[in-house]
Structure 1
Amino acid sequence: MREKKIFVNITNHARGVRGVLHLGGEDVYHFLNGIITNDPNFLRKGAKDVMYTAFLNAQGRFLHDAFLYATGEPFGILADVDKAHMPALMRLLRMYKLRAKMDVRDVSDSFDVWARFGIKSSEKALEDGWPIDPRTEKLGQRTILPKGAEPALELPASDSALYEQWRHSMGVAEGPSEIPSGSAVPLEYNLDGLNAISFTKGCYVGQELIARTHFRGIVRKRLLPVTSEPSSGPLEEGMDVYAEGAARSVGKVVVAGNSSGTSLALLRLQAAFGDRQLRAGSKEGPVIQPHRPSWWPPEWGTEEHEQQ
């Protein structure tokens, strides 16, 4: 699959649909800078065409994520977001808006979200000009196109479920449908390694927990892709994970894949990369095998051991 370039319209996404918001107004960049984890000034200055970011609550827990695209207007941004949670995101934006000169509109009827995946990781840019997925180049490319502006397909457009399986095999969750809104710690869901967080920008809502955890240098749990033998029984979302010989849970299944797909589990890293067998649901449940994604920084998973 890595040698092919497969297109998929992910507006109709396997776990809900993607929607598109238009954010505009002369205060839009200043406004966003105070409520998102990334630095929107990179879009304003033209240093980036697209960025991945998150919205947090005051306690630093994940609420929403978004892909922000510069539109070419002086004060215009298109946001690719989880449509199922779009009403909650729009309420959040309007709550923070106060007197800021900015507006937010749902323009999902005018745009589609497309991904192009399966490309070789060495391909930095392709002839069509689509931007590389801002999370990691290994996820391929991602863009927003006007309705009816389908790309010239090399192959028939793929089912969005295949893209979801591809993304899960990389250990990447997306949207509040997969990253628990109001409870997930962003660094445990790898948002620091997915280029969603700026550690040099000014203050924003929820920054304190993120900065404290980052500069402490230890993240004990992270989201990982896991596989299991179909014959050992199905995985279900919410199952606790146990290490052989341990009485307490070492993690939880967050996203359950189908019988041939990859699931996502939030696991203690010492257990995930240790030598004890892991089972889901109970000490006699399905055996699971964690996999270390190729895009992970080499130091992830060793911080706790090194400090000890």
Structure 2
Amino acid sequence: MNAQFVLLEQESLLHITGPDTLKFLQGQTTCDAAAVTAAQAVVGAYCTPKGRMVCDFLLGQLGEEHYALRLRRSVADVAASTFGKYIVFSKADIAPERSDWQVVGIWGESSAQALSELGIDVPGGRYQSTAGEGWLLVQLDDEGHYLEAWIDMQEHSAHYDRLRQALQAGDANAWNGAQIRAGIGRVEDTTSEMFLPQDLNYDVTSHVNFSKGCYTGQEIVARLHYRGKAKRRAYPTVAATTEQPAAGVALYTAGKSQSVGTVVNSGRDGDQVLCLVSATREGLQQGLRVGSEDGPLLEALPLPYVLED
């Protein structure tokens, strides 16, 4: 059975509770937070007033008036600090120190079947969710091959034990590689406040809702969407190197000293090193190189979705 799991230690859950939680997030983030229920999660980002992303997240509901933002652990402190400046005006509380809930990645063509055999109700579509006492399960794709389980490891660790017994142990790098092939970029500490949402294709991957009301950075993001054209886009690539480039490393083309892009994330698929990059179209066509104009070459992989521009 092709179904793997891994505890995603690079991920963190930022808990927010209270009756005004969704109203607060609706006015601060790019997504339609009002759409979140126990059966529906959403992806989004928090931007500076200049439209640069502090963090990206997956927002889910853990209980009555209890929500969590799944984001990179490396940006959790800055995200909590930024949200904390404004949440004091709402009937909501943020808990940046909580570590009781953990994030588990589940992937493979048999994932949905394996979870169903454990008696777990599997969501039926992308970003749909199911929940129970001490757990939340979110589907990340249309087919049910990629899911995340958020589990209360202090009070309900038995849920994790069941996954360990039924699924094959996987590797976080392999999970990261799968997300890169899916064209889903993540904001790291070294790239926080570097990218516009369009730089990571977030206008295509449902991270930005263009019909909702105002939010921080909305004017910049909307103007680029309706009146402009993104200078850089995100592309999955395979690197001609055995070392994984770090997020934030600049990209170049042969013979030119001006950067044409940035490494967003890296991972592995077997012996291959995969990188998601944000780069100009011209740079991608000419051949991207990591770190310098004579650095390791990146070979473009197909995107699983269409960039209309």
TM range (shorter): 0.7 to 0.9
How many residues of Structure 1 are paired with residues of Structure 2 in the alignment? 283
1:43 equivalenced with 2:36 (yes/no):
yes
What is the CA distance between 1:245 and its match in structure 2?
6.8
Match of 1:142 in 2: 148
User: What letter is aligned with 1:279?
Assistant: R
Match of 1:284 in 2: 294
1:166 equivalenced with 2:178 (yes/no):
yes
1:129 equivalenced with 2:127 (yes/no):
no
Corresponding residue to 2:99 among 109, 118, 125: 109
What is the distance in 2 between the residues matched to 1:234 and 1:65?
Answer: 22
What is the CA distance between 1:24 and its match in structure 2?
1.4
Q: Is the Cα–Cα contact under 8 Å of residues 255 and 264 in structure 1 kept in the other structure? A: yes
Structure 1 segments unaligned to the other structure (5+ residues): 304-308
* TM-score of the aligned structures, taking structure 1 as reference length: 0.79
- For residues 127-176 of structure 1, the C-alpha deviation after alignment (integer angstroms, 9 at most, x for no partner) is 23344663644771113112112143433322222212222233322232
Helix, strand or coil for the counterpart of 2:198? coil
What is the distance in 2 between the residues matched to 1:97 and 1:176?
Answer: 23
Match of 1:87 in 2: 77
Counting only pairs closer than 5 Å after superposition, residues 88-237 of structure 1 correspond to structure 2 as 88-106=78-96, 108-119=98-109, 127=116, 128-131=120-123, 134=127, 136-137=141-142, 140-147=146-153, 148=157, 149-150=159-160, 151-152=162-163, 153-177=165-189, 180-216=191-227, 218-230=229-241
Distance change >3 Å, CA 79–CA 228, structure 1 → 2? closer
Q: Is the Cα–Cα contact under 8 Å of residues 113 and 145 in structure 1 kept in the other structure? A: yes
Match of 2:4 in 1: 6
What is the CA distance between 1:210 and its match in structure 2?
0.8
Q: Is the Cα–Cα contact under 8 Å of residues 235 and 286 in structure 1 kept in the other structure? A: no
Q: Is the Cα–Cα contact under 8 Å of residues 111 and 145 in structure 1 kept in the other structure? A: yes
Structure 2 segments unaligned to the other structure (5+ residues): 128-139
What is the distance in 2 between the residues matched to 1:59 and 1:215?
Answer: 17
Match of 2:131 in 1: none
What is the distance in 1 between the residues matched to 2:264 and 2:217?
Answer: 23
What is the CA distance between 1:298 and its match in structure 2?
5.1
User: What letter is aligned with 1:55?
Assistant: Y
What is the distance in 1 between the residues matched to 2:215 and 2:299?
Answer: 37
Distance change >3 Å, CA 271–CA 84, structure 1 → 2? closer
Distance change >3 Å, CA 124–CA 95, structure 1 → 2? farther
Match of 2:135 in 1: none
Match of 2:136 in 1: none
What is the distance in 1 between the residues matched to 2:93 and 2:237?
Answer: 41
User: Identical aligned pairs, as a percentage?
Assistant: 23
Corresponding residue to 2:21 among 15, 28, 39: 28
Distance change >3 Å, CA 245–CA 49, structure 1 → 2? same
User: What letter is aligned with 2:281?
Assistant: L
Q: Is the Cα–Cα contact under 8 Å of residues 133 and 142 in structure 1 kept in the other structure? A: no
* TM-score of the aligned structures, taking structure 2 as reference length: 0.79
What is the distance in 1 between the residues matched to 2:14 and 2:288?
Answer: 42
Helix, strand or coil for the counterpart of 1:86? helix
What is the distance in 2 between the residues matched to 1:159 and 1:64?
Answer: 24
Match of 2:281 in 1: 269
What is the CA distance between 1:235 and its match in structure 2?
5.2
What is the distance in 2 between the residues matched to 1:62 and 1:85?
Answer: 11
What is the distance in 2 between the residues matched to 1:56 and 1:8?
Answer: 30
Helix, strand or coil for the counterpart of 1:100? coil
